[in-house]
Chain A
Amino acid sequence: MASVGFTAFAILFLIGMVGIFLWQSLPVWQQEGWSYLTGERWFFRQLEFGILPMIYGSLAVALIALGFSVPIGVGAAIFAAEILHPRLRVPLKIAVELLAGVPSVVYGLLGILFLRDWIYSILTPFDPLSGDTLLTAGLLLGMMVLPTIMTLSDDALRGVPTGYRQAARGLGLTRAEVIFSAIFPQAWRGILAAVLLGFGRALGETIAVFLVVGRQDNVLPEHWFSLRPLIEAGQTLTSKLGGAETHIAYSDPLHWAAIVGLGLVLLAIVAGITWLAAWLMRAKEVSDAPGI
């Protein structure tokens, strides 16, 4: 049946992507092996390819994004699902959907125009190099990921059957207590999935990050928790892929392999996180409260 054929193709698409990336990046794996992942130096002119700083950059930026968007997103979701008057739900939902639809290039523009200078002036006491930092990219990403977290957390909270709420209310609990004692224990899986999906999205975003992250290679802190690099420029897996090197790398097999390798690593990380999120949500039937 044609349906199954198309379905199979869609699945193979993903496997094919992994396969093609693996094949095209083979030279760098053969040449560098594990030191590709753990190496701290990327100097393409000398054919040195270590991507640890970019992995650090991607993680740092995504974690900052979550730090901003999770509290606000989950808070707003709680408000929308539990507290808000039902009439006002639709306008709020519309606002969130529109926010989710804003293209990343527009976010990038806003980052260049407003966020960059704002961060630069705020960070002045710390003597930053410029306004393009990992922090800037992280905050911008936070705004981009906020609607995702909000919508999915809202879905998770609404997915808890009303019976729980009624029972808890009947016991005399305040609304806050209902939320924490009755709803959260049921909804935490969905909320965690929302956070993971937001994380995956933040890791995969290219254009907005490219414009405000500074694009400086080989930035790695001495200690993993030192905060200094956050106010310096950095490089992420995506900002490298979206940059000039991808256009010029093809003339050298090793350079090209290193670039495609970035794609492979990014794919592996994001696919893993998304799979985990999907697994967490597996208990929810697809037919549960679609959309609004």
Chain B
Amino acid sequence: MFRLLSTFALLLALALPPETQAQTVLKINGSTTVNLPVAEAAEILRTEQGMAIQVDTQGGSSGGLSMLGDGLVDIGMSSKHLIDSDRSKYPQVQFEEIHIGEDAVAMIVSRDVWEGGVRALSREQLQGIYEGRIKNWKEVGGADQRIAFFNKSPGSGTWEVFANWLYGSAKKAPQVSFPEVGGNEEARNKVASTRGALSQLSASWADGKRVFPLALTTEDGRLVEPNSTNIATHQYPMSRPLFLLTNGKPQGLAQTFIEFVLSERGQQLVRKHGYLSLDQIE
């Protein structure tokens, strides 16, 4: 047994160089939405340039922000704008928002709701649903079916965009309790498999096969669908930017990474995952 232990200790000692190598690893964390092109970009850079990059999605956009603020990561991924209270939580940190693409938040419904005739919702109707005043689809032009609303989990940039549009600011959103969904896939799965379901989802994930994106009814009665044109021209109200956040101007590995994402290859990745690249936005 002693031999075993000493062998292990030896291996351990060999594996530990005198200095930790924290500076040569690029750490990224944040939104599951932004993660798609970023993770693939990381993979490419790892393979082609041997860069050491770690990507994680803990805590969503808010998690990306707070880990950047706490100094735990080098780049934060966010699918919403920074607001004043974000900045004031970390007065020492100089947040840089680097725009890498555009996406939108769609309200998606399950097949039975779509085929029951509901194709659009207005802000007032959504507020009614969110606040629990409207509980059945028949109140908004659909079939007699209970509305199963799934709310995005805390920290989600998608939720903040939704709350911003509905109430002007996330802070003004009322206190509600709904079942929670985490990342985009979980949201899509839950909505697809539940009758009368409604949730917020990145527009590029609403495939029109399992889940269906609703149009939003504007004040003047127009129906605006979350398609590329409307998102690019910002006609669709819940479009949202995709950001990489850094503390101060990006340097070193972070700079290399961000330059890659902003390059044509990187922007191709953005498009590949259904988002709008920078050149497509107006």
Q: Taking the nearest CB of chain A, how far is it from the CB of B207, in angstroms?
A: 20
Closest-CB distance, B191 to chain A (whole angstroms)? 9
Given contacts A127-B146, A131-B193, A131-B194, is CB(A248)–CB(B155) below 8 Å?
yes
Tell me how many residues of A have a C-beta within 8 Å of chain B.
29
Is B105 located at the chain interface by the 8 A CB criterion?
no
- Give chain A interface residues in 39-60, CB to chain B under 8 Å: 41, 43-46, 48
The winner among A129, A215, A233 for most chain B CB atoms within 10 A is A129
A247 to B59, CA, bound (A): 5
Q: A251 contacts B66, CB within 8 Å?
A: yes
B182: interface (CB < 8 Å): yes
B27 to chain A, nearest CB (A): 15
The contact of B59 among A48, A217, A244, by CB within 8 Å, is A244
Contact B182 A244 (CB under 8 A): yes
B43-51, B173-181, B261-269: which lies at the A interface? Answer: B173-181
A219 within 8 A of B: yes
The smallest C-beta distance from B37 to any residue of chain A, in angstroms, reads 22
**B217 at the A interface (CB under 8 A):** no
Please state if B180 and A216 are interface contacts (CB–CB under 8 Å). Answer: yes
Determine the chain A residues whose CB is within 8 A of the CB of B59 once the complex forms: 244, 247-248
| Closest-CB distance, B117 to chain A (whole angstroms) | 20
Q: Tally of A-B residue pairs with Cβ under 8 A?
A: 78
**In contact, A216 and B179 (Cβ under 8 angstroms):** yes
Asked whether B154 lies within 8 Å of A244 as measured between CB atoms, the reply is yes
- 1/0 per residue, CB under 8 A from B, across A99-116: the answer is 000000000000010001
Q: Tell me which residues across on chain A come within 8 A of B175, comparing CB atoms.
A: 41, 43, 45-46, 48
* Interface membership of A218, Cβ < 8 A: yes
A41 to chain B: closest residue by CB = B175
**B42 contacts chain A at the CB level, 8 A cutoff:** no
Give me 17 A-to-B residue pairs in the complex whose CB atoms sit less than 8 angstroms apart, sorted by A's number.
A127-B146, A129-B179, A129-B194, A130-B190, A130-B197, A214-B180, A216-B179, A217-B177, A219-B177, A244-B58, A244-B154, A244-B155, A247-B59, A248-B59, A248-B62, A248-B154, A251-B69
Closest 10 pairs between A and B when the two form their complex, measured CB to CB: A247-B59, A233-B179, A215-B180, A218-B177, A216-B179, A214-B179, A130-B194, A43-B175, A244-B153, A244-B155
**Could you list which residues of chain B lie within 8 angstroms of chain A, going by C-beta atoms?**
58-60, 62-63, 66, 69-70, 89-90, 146, 148, 150, 153-156, 170-171, 173, 175, 177-180, 182, 189-190, 193-194, 197
Seed contacts A45-B173, A244-B60, A248-B59; 17 additional CB < 8 Å A-B pairs: A41-B175, A43-B175, A45-B175, A46-B175, A120-B194, A127-B146, A129-B148, A129-B194, A214-B180, A243-B180, A244-B63, A244-B154, A247-B66, A248-B60, A248-B62, A251-B66, A251-B90
